[in-house]
Amino acid sequence: MVEKMKLLHIAGPREDIDRVVKAYLNKYDIHFENAMTRLNSLRNVRPFVETNVYKEAAQKAAELKQYLDAAGMGTITMRAAQAQVIIDEVDSQMTELRGRQKELQEKILELKKWMEEISPFIGLDFELSKLKDFRFIDYQFGRIRVEDYHKLERYIFKNPYTLFYECNNDSEYVWGVYFVPHTHLLEVEAVYASFHFEDMEISEVFEATPRQIYEEAKERLAGCQQELEGLQMKAVELVKNREDEILSACTSLESYCRNFDIRKYAACAQAKDGEGEYYILYGWISCRDADKLIKEIADDDRVHWEEEEVDRSVNPPTRLKNPRMLKPFEMFVEMYGLPAYHEMDPTLFVAVTYTLMFGIMFGDVGQGACLMAGGFLLYRFKNLRLAGIVGVAGIWSVVFGFLYGSVFGFEEVLPALWMKPMDNIMSTLMIAIGFGAALILFAMILNIINAVRAKEYGRLLFHQSGIAGLVCYGFVVLCAVLFLTGHGMPAAIIIAIAVGVPLLAILLKEPLSRLIERKGDIFPEGSKVMFLVEALVEGFDVVLSYATNTISFVRVGAFALSHAGMMGVVMTLAGFEKGSPNWLIIVLGNLLVAGLEGLIVGIQVLRLEYYEMFSRFYSGSGKPFISFNKRK
């Protein structure tokens, strides 16, 4: 069902808004509307615009909280000003530590970069500072692929003007440095480039041998890391000494920072005496919570409230309120669209019809029991709404499994309490069509109820799913039942009146609706001839939709037959008729049929729900109820 709502108007001194939100409004689920959209016609009313003064302090508090293992909220209740003072005190003590930590982190990154840069060349036992003193010989560090290095060796062997010193290697590369006289530099550089030699630059600050540089950097890195760990422990100790105060301040500031967003929905107005400003809030709240909130704020002279009367033209937000067993089925309703506030909630209808049709189409005691157990377990431990739906559908599968006499595809183990679909093919299909016709009639009754609640009398009387449609379609269904059961048919004149008059009313739905609702001109603007042509085409479409919607339910019986047929194939492949079945094939076949057909049946039933039934009585035009204190 759709929960009943009240629209409350709450006002008070501008500077008191945070206290009111924290003390009262955060306790309840309230869907706030933008107050400016309701007050834009008034003078001296403006949006509540203000800089979030809690944001910076909240960020500092979150940084301090990272030093604590505890995830609690603290035990001290404090206002925002007190929380800001505590956080600023601790943060100022942490500033020097953070500065030194930042320096050490930068130094650690630099040392790691040095070690990565010099490590490929630690095989060179020569001081790098002396290389810089060469006046007539140039050198270049770099790497070359192993396969290219073997080709380069043959070139070096024949060329007296270059020397390559190998420093390190692995399965892919060889690292080293080559030397060349300055007079032959360009020629040799070109040759090395042709062998895909990749130049690597070595920092100018390096002077000792690569191994000495690497070991020194490693030693300095260990010292920096040790000092950084010490600073970290000191910071943790500093924060832990005031753990409860910091956690409490963090919780308080997070709350104030989160509640600060209430200003997006508020408006500001000047007080009548010209001194000070008032905030104004508008919010939808359930009737039950509204009574509690009003009782709480009744004694607070700084908070003023008023319940606003709303007419039916206003569409409040929709919040569904159903028993726990029906909660999973709200997913299907939300997928189609939430009901409008004044519209009937179809959750119960979906829960009954969806699972019932699923059971008819997937009747098997064993497979249904597996779906039921698996669905309820997943719903219990993972809270998956779809799993809850599968669990309830599995109950109906078990019921119809007993009615069909089928357990894991074995048709002879249990006696059929009703009938076996494969032995009564035509009966199964005809019953499915009759079942579909009954559901369509029920959907029309729901549409009539919704039309009465919405006071849409044209839709009530002349819609194809209104009273006219119910009479027309219902009489056709009655005639079909009488014919199939061998009873006499009504007189032709009665059939003509019972079918023709409602159908004519459906064709003239628009002018007749305008007439009874007194909406001015009976006929819409434009040519009346074109209107009649459109009405005839629409009438043909209505008749065709009655037929196709009804025949569409033949799939309910067809899938009942399909399930029995597929399991028959599994039993044949397993050699069941020969008396020595292959149980592995039976198990795998059951898994395949349960998974594949269960998925297909679930989709087909959902299609019947949406296209054949929901389209007749349900608009799904509601807007969701979004609680301020539970928003993302």
Q: Answer whether 301's CB lies under 8 Å from 8's CB.
A: no
Domains and CATH numbers, the chain: 126-208 (3.30.70.2750), 324-617 (no CATH)
> Which amino acid appears at position 190 of this protein?
A
Residue 523: pLDDT band with limits 50, 70, 90? low
Residue 632 has pLDDT above 80, yes or no: no
Contacts of 230 (CB under 8 A, 6+ apart): none
> What does the pLDDT look like over 539-575, one tens digit per residue?
888 889 899 999 999 999 999 998 888 988 888 888 8
Residue 347 has pLDDT above 90, yes or no: yes
Name the residue with higher pLDDT: 74 or 319.
319
The average pLDDT across 6-27 equals 88
Q: Answer whether 447's CB lies under 8 Å from 463's CB.
A: yes
For residues 515 and 509, what is the distance between their CA atoms, to the nearest angstrom? 10
State both tokens at 509: 């739905």
Residue 159: pLDDT band with limits 50, 70, 90? confident
| pLDDT score, position 47 | 86
> What does the pLDDT look like over 259-278, one tens digit per residue?
788 888 888 888 776 677 88
In the chain, % helix, strand, coil (3-state, to 5) comes to: 65, 10, 25
Residue 246 has pLDDT above 60, yes or no: yes
522 DSSP 8-state letter? S
The average pLDDT across 191-206 equals 87
Buried (b) or exposed (e) across 243-278, using 16+ Cβ within 10 A? Answer: bebbbbbbbbbbbbbbbbebbebbbbbeeeeeeeeb
Could you tell me what percent of the chain has a pLDDT over 90? 34
Say how many C-beta atoms besides its own lie within 10 A of residue 545's C-beta.
Answer: 15
The average pLDDT across 147-165 equals 87
Residue 525: pLDDT band with limits 50, 70, 90? low
Region label for 168, one of left (φ > 0), alpha (ψ between -120 and 50) or beta (otherwise): beta
> Which amino acid appears at position 219 of this protein?
E
The owner of tokens 């067809």 is 558
Cα 174 to the center of its chain, rounded Å: 52
**DSSP letters of 468-514?**
HHHHHHHHHHHHHHHHHTTPPPPPHHHHHHHHHHHHHHHHTHHHHHH
- How many residues are present in the chain? 632
Residue 585 has pLDDT above 80, yes or no: yes
**HSE-up of residue 294 (Cα within 13 Å, Cβ side):** 15
| pLDDT score, position 66 | 78
Q: Answer whether 37's CB lies under 8 Å from 264's CB.
A: no
Burial class (CB in 10 A: 0-12, 13-18, 19+), 11: buried
Say how many C-beta atoms besides its own lie within 10 A of residue 359's C-beta.
Answer: 25
CA distances from 496 to 217, 474, 501, 504, 524 (A): 101, 14, 8, 11, 28
Listed ranges 75-89, 191-205, 240-254; the one with the highest mean pLDDT: 191-205
> What does the pLDDT look like over 618-631, one tens digit per residue?
888 889 999 887 76
| pLDDT score, position 526 | 63
Burial class (CB in 10 A: 0-12, 13-18, 19+), 96: exposed
Q: Answer whether 224's CB lies under 8 Å from 108's CB.
A: yes
362 DSSP 8-state letter? T
> Which amino acid appears at position 292 of this protein?
K
The owner of tokens 């829960």 is 351
| pLDDT score, position 273 | 65
Least confident segment among 67-81, 92-106, 218-232, 243-257: 67-81
For residues 60 and 312, what is the distance between their CA atoms, to the nearest angstrom? 49
The owner of tokens 């003509």 is 496
Q: Answer whether 214's CB lies under 8 Å from 167's CB.
A: no
Cα 150 to the center of its chain, rounded Å: 59
The average pLDDT across 50-55 equals 79
Residue 529: pLDDT band with limits 50, 70, 90? confident
Could you tell me what percent of the chain has a pLDDT over 70? 96
For residues 562 and 576, what is the distance between their CA atoms, to the nearest angstrom? 19
Name the residue with higher pLDDT: 66 or 120.
120
Instruction: Map residue 526 onto helix, strand or coil.
Output: coil
Residue 351 has pLDDT above 90, yes or no: yes
The owner of tokens 């209430």 is 262
The average pLDDT across 475-482 equals 92
Return phi, psi of residue 285, to 5°: -145, 145
For residues 196 and 199, what is the distance between their CA atoms, to the nearest angstrom? 9
Average per-residue pLDDT for the chain: 87
Q: Answer whether 7's CB lies under 8 Å from 325's CB.
A: no
| pLDDT score, position 606 | 93
Say how many C-beta atoms besides its own lie within 10 A of residue 282's C-beta.
Answer: 23
Return phi, psi of residue 304, to 5°: -115, 135
Say how many C-beta atoms besides its own lie within 10 A of residue 383's C-beta.
Answer: 11
For residues 222 and 242, what is the distance between their CA atoms, to the nearest angstrom? 31
Q: Which residues pair with 174 in a beta bridge?
A: 144, 169
Residue 524: pLDDT band with limits 50, 70, 90? low
Instruction: Map residue 173 onto helix, strand or coil.
Output: strand
Residue 258: pLDDT band with limits 50, 70, 90? confident
| pLDDT score, position 580 | 79
**DSSP letters of 194-207?**
HTT-EE----TT--
For residues 373 and 361, what is the distance between their CA atoms, to the nearest angstrom? 19
The average pLDDT across 420-445 equals 92
